[in-house]
Every structure is written in structure tokens, then in C-alpha cells.
Chains A and B, each alone.
Chain A
């Protein structure tokens, strides 16, 4: 399809007539040369003896036939990379995969739409647009719009945006029949494909079939499918990981970076990974501290091979379902006696998929932000631990205790109750053969209706052989969550402030009961930990959540649309739909996340499914259609002109005119000769102003447009020049004002730039010239003259203007003038660089940056200060200072000149002076050798 096609190919039939024309033209003699010749008198009776050689030469015939052939070709309307297959009158159908995989190449699609729109406008064709992302139920027809004009389409191309769903081609295929009825004839179909399917390519054959019923299909697609997606965050064992899906294996390794952010937008971490060549799916481990894992709210594919890939699929929203409750298993000698690890084993087994475990002392556990602390048959607690735990429970912690021999031993009837128990306990356990012996082991009875266990059903085979008894009472009655068959509490719980204390009246080991090895145990524990503050409280599949923030196709958060409906919790298990678009739902603290990609999603390249087989295809990157007819006409016209020339030549009419031949030769030869002439032009003329300034060393100041300022600064620089000449070997010429936009900066060693509040930000070009000036060894002194007014470090108006300027400039990293900087040593020994004031910091290039960059020989290219140096240096024609200097005029002015001289020395000598500073050191080293 990328080749040549014709808008009216029938005209090409005319090419068949060319051989006939050949014969005709051969038979027709060329025009005779006409001569007036008196000698005709003698030959008029002569017969024409030789008539045949008057035929047109074959090459001239060929020339004419080529010209004619080209004209025929041009009339047939040849178009390179033509869009249309079935002529220029049929309607067009544009099928757009406006899905999230298309988001990263959306610009290409808009361009393609514009190209199609241009063609539609030109040929006045109707366009139908079909989008393939799912529509809300009942509005499936919204996917098909039309008929549009080319102008409509180009407007649509501007407004249409990718949506955060994958293409649902099966749904569209069902509704294409509508379109089939409305199209009068076969259409040109342009399928701007995203090349990605999430339904294993099952729907594409029917889709392509339905499209083929409408007309000829041209598939527009990228050369290769780079679509990447992020699956839901999950745990593999203790390992938090996120699946990375690729639609098509890449021939090279791809380096990806994931950005992890918290729900409040805080950046948590950046994770780098490599997607190996030919891999379609990898799990990227997210190595994060436990505390941070539960904070992840969003994982974004921030870059792939240094390029960004923004789409709704390249972002994974994380909600509480991916969170893990941190369960602390208290242990250690200081907690109490007893073998804790045995019980811990069962607890781990029961909670492993939902919780992260840590061990350690109670202090450590609380410090680590544990949600649930398990005390398995701990008898006596230290008083400090009790206080800590009490406080922690008040704050919202869940204390999960298991009874056992130790606890039983600690409960003595009559004595005070041990702390941190939901209900008062009786001393001693209840067991077979004891005082309160059961006849048979008890079964689990009921679960309290108002408890988290309400809908659990106990396995009747579970036997409880022994337990610690609660003292009967109203407290015990209200706080019981589970009972034994005889009505004694098995699990009791007490809310305490924000927190909760839960007690299993049996140990977590199967010695006293079968409970720890039953499924009910697992359910019970899970119900308990969902009460932990971080977790989403019981995921009620039918509860609905209002949309909070939804994603668009590019993976950007948007405010939900006005008519957005709440989504049921179960929607979180399926990819987003128009009813429940991807995004966050519910409360901002514990939102529900709906994603474009779920764990069931597969990304598959359509190419690999063979959906494109037999379809014309076209690359988004390909050339736009180009009409060749004008060029062919031009060539044909030139050939005709050439033919005329040759014919004239053959008739001898051109023979005498050497002038024409000379003209032609000149026309041909002159362009050949011209380049040498241009080479002979050596270079652009030197700017006279620059020449003048370059012949003598002089300082420059950047013109501000404010005459007073410019005059003052010029006087200042001239004053400095005068002092330099008087005191040093430097004798600068008169200072010159420089227009940043036009003048050549490179002729100045030093540029003085007074920046005031009203200074306009120079153009980018001018800033670029300043950057080059600094990079090539110039010294730029920026004076904001605000040192006396900004002693508190607040930003002065001048300072904020300067900040605006510097934000657009590539300036080296700066630091305040450090002690012992060469600026303080280059001529005079100075501690500071005072000007008319000595307030505010002076910024120079940071030393770290200086050593790193070799470009400028370690010399700062920029000095920024608010010292109003120029005003201090400025003198009028009589040598009198133009600006007062406050008290101790002579001294302060002198120091201002000294700092100016030091700066000029830096500008002129570079690091020479800095080396001089080290001369003693160097001599020492030489001496040592």
C-alpha cells in the first residue's frame, strides 16, 4: 500500500494507445526546412528522388511518447502513499482504538486523522468514526458517529482523547451492522489500531470480519508495539511485587523505572527494573520497608528506556486490598516465659496471605508501627510493657491474646485481674478431670450476631478440650464473640478507646483444642485483622463507593464527571468500565481502587494473533500521501519543450543562433559555477561595533533601557577602569553598553549587568548568548543593588526578577562567596566584596561544580550580588563621586574599588591568581623533592 496508486486508474488504459501513436508518428514526416533559393529554377523539374529519410528519428518519437505517457499517468492521478483504496468517491470509515494503549502514540493518531480529514475535505467524502472502547450499557451506538465532513473530522481529531479502557472490539463488532445499513456503498476503512487486545485476541476475527463487510480495510499501526502495562500489586510470600506486562516482546532489554507515591502524593521510592528481551511478563519486586509498603497508593511506569509512557495502563492504583496488616508477635525473655514460637507458627499460617509478621519486644513492635500485636499465652507482663500496650491500644492498636497455661496460672481467683484482658477470668483452666470437668469435649456453639464472626459457620468436628473460663457477668455476655456449645465464651473482645483487645480462651496451639488447625480459625483471625486501622473494613461486595478521582486515558487524575455513578466494590476486581472508570473511589483515607489492568488482564499484540492477515497496513510514521501529478505534468511539459527545441534544431532554425546555444549552455553552466562563487565569499562582514570594541580591552555593561542606570553603570565601569589603570598593569578602554539581543558579547572579558525590578527577561536567544559568553571564559557580574534593603534574606523585587531570569538560564550551581575564595586574593586581600553597601550574600559558582567542569579553568563565570558596585565606582567628569557612600566615605569607596579590582583581575587572569595562592605550597613541594 505504501507504493503508488491512482485516483482514476481507468485513464491508464490510454497508455495502450501509445504503440499506435508510435506508428502514426512514425508515418508522419517531420516538418521540412523551408528555403527560399533562386536556384530552385533549376530543380523544379527534378523529381523527388529520395523521400524516405524524412522520418522522425526514433529517439525523438520516444521522447514524445514518454511525454505523452507521463501526461496520461499524471491525468490518472498518481498518489504516493495514497490513503484510499477504492477510489475517491466512496465514504470513509475511521475506526479509532481510543484505548489506553494508544495514549502514548496519540499524537500520531491525531496526525493520521488530520491526514484523513484533509483527503475527505478535498474529495468531499463522508466520514464515519467508530471508536472501539466500551461504551456505557445502553449507549453502545455512541461508538459510531457520522456522517461527518472532513472539517468535522479535523475538529474531532483535535478533541478526541484516549479513554482509560482497553478496546472492546467484540462489542463494536455487534454494532457495525448499523453502519452497514447506513453506508450506501463500500467504504474505505482506516483502522487506527492500538495493536493491543486484552481478550486474547478472541474478538478480533469477528471484528475484522464485520469491518470487511463494510469495505476495504487499511490498518494504521506502529511498526512495533511498545505497549506496557502494570498489573495489580501483590505479595509473593513476603515479597511485594508488581507485574509488568508487555504486549509484544521487545528485541532488546528495556529498562523501566517505576515511581511509587503515597496517597497524599508523597514520593516514596523509585524502582528500576529490566524487562528482558522477549519477555512478556515479569514481576518487578518492590523492596520497601514494611512501613512504607502500606502507604503505596500509586505505582506509575515513569520511564521506559528514558522515554515516558503515559497511559492509564501504565499506572496502577493501589488500595487497601493490597495492604498487609503488620502483625507483631511479641517474644523475648523480657516479655514473659513460655514457648511463644509454637503458637506463632499457627498464627503465621493462618494470616500469611494477609499480614506481614515481625517479631521482637513490645517496644520494638510498637516502634515499627505494628497494627496487631499477638500475645500468645503470656502470663505476666511487665508494668512498663503494660503501660505501653495500654497506650498503644488506646491509640487504635489491636491486641490479640491467646489463653494458655501461663495465663491460667496468672489468674488467681480473688486476686486482682491481670491487665489487658477483655473480661475477668476465673482462676485455673477448665479441663477434663478437673473441678469443672466436662463430660465430653465441647463443640463450638454460636457466634455473636454483633461480632465480626457473625456469618461464620463453625465446623462441628472441632473439639475444645480445655479452656480458660471467663467470669460470668454482663460484661462477659456483651463482650463475647464466640461461644462453646454450652454457652461459655470462647472468644471475648473489648474495645478500649480506639483500640481493641481480643482474647481467645484457648491457646494458638492445638493442644487444648482443634481450633488452631481448623479453617474457622483462619477466618476468625482474618476478620480480626481487617479491623486493623489500615485495612479496608470488610469488603462488602455490594457496597458502593462514590468516585473520588478517575483516570483519563493518559493516566492523569481527573475530577469525576458530573454524572459519575458510585461503583460497587466488586468492580475493583475487573478492569474499569464506563460505569466504573479506573480511579479511586470511596473515602480518601481508605479508597477503593479500580484499575485498567487487573490480575486477569493479558496484553496481547494483535499482530501476533493474526488479526491483520490479509489487510493493507500503513505505519503511523509513514509518509503522508503525496500527489505526483503536478510533477509528472512538469516533466512532461519539459519534455515537450525539449522536443520543440529539438524539432527546431532539426529544421535548422536553431542552427544559426549560437546565441541561444550559448544561453542554454550558460543556463546549465551557471548553476554549476555558482557554488565556487559562494565559496569565494569568505565570511560575513565583521560587525564594525564589535571590531571597535575588540581592538581594545574594555568592559561591557548590559543596557537596561533606563538611561540613568546605564549612565551610572558606565560611569562606574569607567571609574573602575581609571583605578585599574592607576594601580595595576591593566588599562581598559572606555566601557561600552551592550545590547544583549544584538551585540557580540565575546569581545568583553567582563560584563556588568544591573538587574532591577523592571528589567525585562531577555529572549532565549540572548540568554543563550550570555551562557556562551560565560562558557567561553567571560565573567558576568549581576548586580541587583538591593544588598542594603534585603538584610533579612527575604526576596527583594530585584531578587525575584533575577530569579525569573536565572530560571531560564543554564547557570552553574552557586554558593555564597566562601572564605578564602580567590576573589578575595586576586589583587587585594579582602574578606568580602563590598560595594556601595555590604549587605546580602554574594554568589559565585560552587567549588564543587568548578572542579567538575574543566571548561572554564576553575574560574567562576558569574558573580551575583546586591552590592551596587557600579554606584560606588561611578565618578563624574570632574573625578568626583556620583553617589554618596554614607559614613567613612573614603574607606568604603576604597574597599569598593578594591573589590572591583579583584573582580577585574579574576576576569582577566583566570586561575593564575589562584595558583599564586598556592605558590608557597608548591615551593615547599619542590623543595621537598
Chain B
């Protein structure tokens, strides 16, 4: 018991050590975006004037806008404001081991790190705007308001890397009901069939959102030569190739096909797809994600 507490505490300290830089980095990224409550383009509880509507039976008398009603005869108008409410955005970050990879020698930007940064930054932007952010597969699932970022980061770091085989890898189910947005962060190096099935299921479940494919530059250009034994992760099946350079074309073809299939799939299901390389700055990806989420918010 004592050891359990000790290890917990150890983990916590380890995580809190990583927390400030992650948070700072994410805030840096998020600081470039302004956010706030969004008009929902419908009457509701908000501050902004939306429309006048004739008084109907059952409306609160206090809602009658007497000034407007005085301009017309025999008609009472109710001043309606635009329904302003916080949106719920579900963020899913992939935790597969294949993300723990970087080809760059001098930087420590693994794909996982970039994903975490993007997730945190997105959370920062959204919570500052008053939105509710959900982290898939994690409790408490929803973060909002002041201090949401801290809790989000804590939850983020507390997440365990699940040991799953390549075959078990799949996209998540987005919790909740009704229309909701989701941001899926991964490299999506999973069979397209699974992605297709997941997306279709999500679309049927009224989930729409963005697929953000985070890639390492090496995964786009395949710079390998010579006799090489490849493994997707450290404990997956090795594949030996006599001359890696000769694989270049086939690899690129496969890679592009995979990517464009996912892109098409997203378009068909009403999702956004974007690809992000760790060689690029995170801000660009964040902006894209944000703007990709905007139409979804405006539903």
C-alpha cells in the first residue's frame, strides 16, 4: 500500500515536472488565438440581440419589449437574444507506441509530444473561450472554466500508454449524446477499413470534427538506405529489407494512398482532415484545427 502511494506520488511528481513546460508551450501556441462565447445563430440566453418576435401565449410578461411594442399597434413583441452557449469539443489523443518516434536527432519533438502540445493548446483556446472540452477515455471527462487547463494537463499526463498490438489499434468512441464535435489526434497508421468504420459510426452518432494526422518528416520522405530491419514499434514484428532505398517509391505510393483515402473518407462523412508535420510549427496546426472547428460550432 505504501509502495503504491509512493509510486503514485512519484508519477505525480514526474508529471508535474513535465506539466509546466507543456502548459507554457501550449499557452504560447494558444495565445495567438482569441476566443469567447459564440452566437448560436438562434434565440437563446445571450447578450446579443437576435430578433423581435410577436408575443405568444406562455411567454413571460417580463420578456415583452415595450418600446418595440409601442411602435406598432395591437401587437406585443418579445425581444429575443441570440442563444449563446458553450460548445463541447471532445479531444482524443492517440497513445500508441508508434507515436513515440522522431527522426530528428537534435530535437525531442516526437509525434506524441506534438500531439500533446496541440491537444493542450486546443484545450487552452477552447476553455478560454468558455467552451467545454472533453478528453476521451479519461475522467473527469469534461473541462471548463478557470483551472480547466491545469486539470486537463494533469489528466493528460496521467494517461497510461495502453499496450495494444497493431491489429487492436482503433479509433475511439466519442462519449455523450447528440451533436458533438471531436478532434482526433493521431498518425492514423491504422488500416483504412477501421478508420472508415469508426468514422461512419461517429457520423451516425452525430459526431463531427477534425482528424489531425501528426507525422514525422521521415514518414513523409522515407530517407532510408541499405540493409535494414524495420519495426513499427519496439515490440512489433520486424521486417527485413535488403535495400531500403528501393522501397522508397512503393512506400510513398502507399503512404499517399492511405492519406488520400482518409481525406476522402472525412469529406464524405463531413469531417475535416488535416495533416501536420512535426517539422512545422505547432501554431499553424492549431489555427487550422480551430478554424476547422468553427463551422461545427456554428451548428
CB pair A50–B242 under 8 Å, yes or no, is yes
Residues of B within 8 Å of A289, CB to CB, are none
Given A49-B246, A50-B242, A54-B243; A36-B251 close (CB under 8 Å)? no
B55 at the interface (CB under 8 A from A): no
Interface residue tally on A, bucketed by range: 20 to 34
Chain A residue nearest in CB terms to B240 = A32
- Contact indicator per residue, chain A 13-49, by CB within 8 Å of chain B (1) or not (0): 0000000000000000110111111111111101011
B98 at the interface (CB under 8 A from A): yes
A-B residue pair count with CB separations less than 8 angstroms: 102
Q: How far is the CB of A583 from chain B (nearest CB, A)?
A: 88
Residues of B within 8 Å of A656, CB to CB, are 105
Residues of B within 8 Å of A38, CB to CB, are 98-99, 101, 111, 187, 189, 216, 219, 232-233
Complexed CA–CA distance, A45 and B243 (Å): 15
A877 at the interface (CB under 8 A from B): no
Complexed CA–CA distance, A40 and B237 (Å): 10
Complexed CA–CA distance, A34 and B105 (Å): 16
B73 at the interface (CB under 8 A from A): no
> Which residues of chain B from 227 to 261 have a CB within 8 Å of any chain A CB?
227-234, 236-243, 246-247, 250-251, 254-255, 258
Chain B residue nearest in CB terms to A652 = B226
CB pair A49–B243 under 8 Å, yes or no, is yes
Residues of A within 8 Å of B240, CB to CB, are 32, 48
Q: How far is the CB of B213 from chain A (nearest CB, A)?
A: 12
A384 at the interface (CB under 8 A from B): no
Complexed CA–CA distance, A44 and B255 (Å): 12
Residues of A within 8 Å of B254, CB to CB, are 42-43, 46
B222 at the interface (CB under 8 A from A): yes
Residues of B within 8 Å of A33, CB to CB, are 226-229
Complexed CA–CA distance, A48 and B98 (Å): 22
Residue in B166, B229, B250, B251 whose beta carbon sits within 8 Å of that of A32 in the complex: B229
Residues of B within 8 Å of A44, CB to CB, are 230, 232, 237, 239
B12 at the interface (CB under 8 A from A): no
Q: How far is the CB of B192 from chain A (nearest CB, A)?
A: 11
Residues of B within 8 Å of A53, CB to CB, are 227, 242-243
- Find the residue from A32, A54, A656 having the highest chain B CB count within 10 A: A32
Q: How far is the CB of B243 from chain A (nearest CB, A)?
A: 4
Complexed CA–CA distance, A29 and B241 (Å): 12
A51 at the interface (CB under 8 A from B): yes
- Find the residue from B190, B239, B242 having the highest chain A CB count within 10 A: B242
CB pair B243–A36 under 8 Å, yes or no, is no
Residues of B within 8 Å of A32, CB to CB, are 227-229, 240
Given A33-B227, A48-B240, A51-B242; A39-B218 close (CB under 8 Å)? yes
Chain B interface residue count, CB cutoff 8 Å, equals: 38
Residues of B within 8 Å of A42, CB to CB, are 189, 251, 254-255, 258
Residues of A within 8 Å of B237, CB to CB, are 44
CB pair B227–A37 under 8 Å, yes or no, is no
B49 at the interface (CB under 8 A from A): no
B66 at the interface (CB under 8 A from A): no
CB pair B246–A40 under 8 Å, yes or no, is no
CB pair A40–B239 under 8 Å, yes or no, is yes
Residues of A within 8 Å of B238, CB to CB, are 34
Residues of A within 8 Å of B101, CB to CB, are 36-38
A52 at the interface (CB under 8 A from B): yes
Chain A residue nearest in CB terms to B96 = A38
CB pair B255–A39 under 8 Å, yes or no, is yes
Residue in A36, A39, A48 whose beta carbon sits within 8 Å of that of B234 in the complex: A36
Chain A residue nearest in CB terms to B219 = A39
Residues of B within 8 Å of A49, CB to CB, are 242-243, 246-247
Given A29-B227, A44-B239, A48-B241; A36-B233 close (CB under 8 Å)? yes
Complexed CA–CA distance, A33 and B231 (Å): 11
Complexed CA–CA distance, A54 and B227 (Å): 6
Complexed CA–CA distance, A652 and B229 (Å): 12
Chain A residue nearest in CB terms to B255 = A42
> Which residues of chain A from 613 to 654 have a CB within 8 Å of any chain B CB?
652
Q: How far is the CB of A41 from chain B (nearest CB, A)?
A: 4
Residues of A within 8 Å of B251, CB to CB, are 39, 42-43, 46
Q: How far is the CB of A539 from chain B (nearest CB, A)?
A: 102
Complexed CA–CA distance, A35 and B216 (Å): 15
Complexed CA–CA distance, A647 and B120 (Å): 44
Q: How far is the CB of A242 from chain B (nearest CB, A)?
A: 89
Chain B residue nearest in CB terms to A50 = B243
> Which residues of chain B from 188 to 244 have a CB within 8 Å of any chain A CB?
189-190, 216, 218-219, 222, 224, 226-234, 236-243
Chain B residue nearest in CB terms to A650 = B226
Complexed CA–CA distance, A899 and B293 (Å): 119
Residues of B within 8 Å of A34, CB to CB, are 228-229, 231, 238
Residues of B within 8 Å of A40, CB to CB, are 230-232, 236, 239
Complexed CA–CA distance, A126 and B223 (Å): 71
Complexed CA–CA distance, A52 and B227 (Å): 10
CB pair B246–A50 under 8 Å, yes or no, is yes
Residues of B within 8 Å of A43, CB to CB, are 230, 239, 241, 247, 250-251, 254
> Which residues of chain A from 330 to 383 have a CB within 8 Å of any chain B CB?
none
- Find the residue from B105, B216, B224 having the highest chain A CB count within 10 A: B224
Complexed CA–CA distance, A46 and B252 (Å): 12
CB pair A46–B250 under 8 Å, yes or no, is yes
CB pair A52–B216 under 8 Å, yes or no, is no
Complexed CA–CA distance, A35 and B231 (Å): 6
Residues of A within 8 Å of B222, CB to CB, are 39
> Which residues of chain B from 20 to 38 have a CB within 8 Å of any chain A CB?
none
Chain B residue nearest in CB terms to A37 = B230
Chain B residue nearest in CB terms to A52 = B242
Complexed CA–CA distance, A53 and B251 (Å): 20
Q: How far is the CB of A890 from chain B (nearest CB, A)?
A: 96
Q: How far is the CB of A66 from chain B (nearest CB, A)?
A: 24
Residues of A within 8 Å of B250, CB to CB, are 43, 46
Residue in A37, A39, A54, A652 whose beta carbon sits within 8 Å of that of B242 in the complex: A54
6 A-B pairs whose Cβ atoms sit less than 8 Å apart in the complex: A35-B224, A37-B219, A41-B232, A44-B239, A46-B247, A52-B242
Further 12 A-B residue pairs, CB within 8 A, beyond A35-B228, A37-B218, A54-B243: A32-B229, A32-B240, A33-B226, A33-B227, A35-B231, A36-B232, A37-B230, A39-B222, A42-B189, A43-B239, A46-B247, A52-B242
The 4 closest A-B pairs by CB, nearest first: A51-B242, A38-B98, A50-B243, A40-B232
